[in-house]
Amino acid sequence: MRILGTETTCDETSAAVVEDGRKVLSNVVSSSALLQRKYRGVVPEIAAREQVKVIIPVISVALDRSDCSIDDIDALAVAYGPGLSGSLLIGVEAAKTLALVWKKPLVPVNHLIGHVYANWIGKKVPQFPLVALIVSGGHTDLILMTDHGKFRWLGGTRDDAAGEAFDKVARVLGLGYPGGPEIEKVASQSQSAKLESSKRLPRPMISEDNFDFSFAGLKTAVVNLVNRHLRGEESSHLGGGDISAIAYEFQKAICEVLVIKTLRAAKKFNAKSIVVGGGVAANDYLRSQLTDHGWKLAIPVFFPPKDLAVDNGAMIAAAAFWFEKTISPLKLQADPALHFA
Ligand code: KG4
Ligand code: ZN
């Protein structure tokens, strides 16, 4: 079965053709991130305008690259939430129209569940029950999944999402947008410039017996540290070495909390696998720490390839294959605040 999936929840416009939920025939991503750079964050209006410009060319290139004609496509899938309402509307209305014109079934997919199903693309398949950690720009959630389509939300962030914290801390450190890859790059230059223990950042809620997170205080701790430097209360001004050391300590703090809480959930629910999805799943420190700790507990940890960790149409097409639930196109509405179904 070949599914054409589209994803337009934020500043990416993506379309992909995926066969049997596993084999990516094409995956085209156009991003307005470069246009957003000067604002150091996503401006929803700019994101939506770019979506309008590129949605049809992106879908058309995805079909071309897959070597499929529309007759070879069995169904369309679309991310209908959560996300920015202007961006979502463009993808959802485009998919509804194409489903009607091409007379194809339409499968609505929760964007976050798409991030989970990015882990089914490829050779090895995760086993149930599993614990899924979703870490994106707008979400940080832990989910127990007992079968395809059977989700139980265990907990999530009470304030900033993990990716949002990366983006905000990058801004405070004078780095570019998106902040996650920038922090990761700068942190990797900090081999010799570790922070003194007095400047160690907090690991919020790490010891609490729940599956919730809170990253706003961690971000404030970075802001306070930077301000102390700027006010001259620290011995040196904020140089490149300090920025690397802060970036390294921030990345370590946030990843430690994510790893410990995910492993605790996996142990509690006897998970046979751990899967991770969302843009922060592209972070190498998180990838290596969770994989190593999972290995010690004999729980395999799955991460999508980096290009399928960030928003993409392939994960939406994959989710639609495993968790198929069609809808009449005229009934589908974008849902910016969609939670787990
Ligand atoms: O899933 P995604 O592409 O879009 C949303 O659904 O939000 O995630 C984007 C987020 C951004 O906050 C970005 O800074 C973060 O993922 N991100 C990373 C890395 N690559 C992207 N965070 C940490 N390390 C990375 N390598
Ligand atoms: Zn996402």
pLDDT tens-digit map of 178-205: 999 999 999 998 765 566 666 789 999 9
C-alpha torsion 291→294→298→303, nearest 10: -50
Question: Which residue in this structure is represented by tokens 């014109």?
Answer: 101
* C-alpha 50 to ligand 1 mean position (Å): 19
Which residues surround the ion ligand 2 when the cut-off is CB under 5 Å? 136, 311
CA distance 266 to 312: 27
Query: What is the SS3 assignment for 73?
Result: coil
Ligand 1 atom 23, closest CA: 180
Q: From the CA of 162, which ligand is nearest?
A: 1
* C-alpha 78 to ligand 2 mean position (Å): 13
pLDDT tens-digit map of 246-259: 999 999 999 999 99
pLDDT tens-digit map of 216-239: 999 999 999 888 877 777 655 666
Reported confidence tier of residue 309, pLDDT bands at 50, 70, 90: very high
Tell me the whole-structure pTM to 2 decimals: 0.94
Q: Quick one: which of 115, 20, 103, 98 has its CA closest to 59?
A: 98
Instruction: Return the beta strands (E) in the chain as ranges.
Output: 2-7, 12-19, 23-31, 75-81, 106-110, 130-135, 140-147, 150-156, 273-277, 301-302
CA distance 12 to 50: 9
